[in-house]
Amino acid sequence: MDRLEDAVADYNKVRRALCASKAGATSHVQIRAESCGLALHPSRSRTSVTYMEVARRSDVAGEHIVGLWDAVCAEARRLERDPDAMVCPME
């Protein structure tokens, strides 16, 4: 559960920085749209949490994280002049 909470905290930190950035306000529209939404809030509950609940929370966090990185990678591909270049580490 701690790793999930750490991942959510890292996502929120990156999301806030991207949203607050004034650079690319008009050219990086999709990145800003993905990053300026609501922050994820991890549950700090230390009561018994089932595996299914942890899996559900992980899925929700993953959807947000993947959406943000998809937007970043799409923008990086758009800006790259070499069509064969690997612009995202996830590719």
Q: What is the pLDDT of residue 89?
A: 75
Q: What is the pLDDT of residue 1?
A: 63
Q: Compute CA 82 distance to the chain's CA centroid, rounded to the nearest angstrom.
A: 26
pLDDT in tens, 16-72: 888 887 655 666 677 777 778 778 876 666 666 778 888 888 888 888 888 888 888
Q: What is the pLDDT of residue 43?
A: 65
* 17 close to 34: Cβ distance less than 8 angstroms: no
- Rounded to 10 degrees, the C-alpha dihedral 59/60/63/65 comes to -100
- Give the pLDDT mean for 9-17: 86
Q: Is the pTM of this model over 0.85?
A: no
- 26 contacts: CB under 8 Å, gap ≥ 6: none
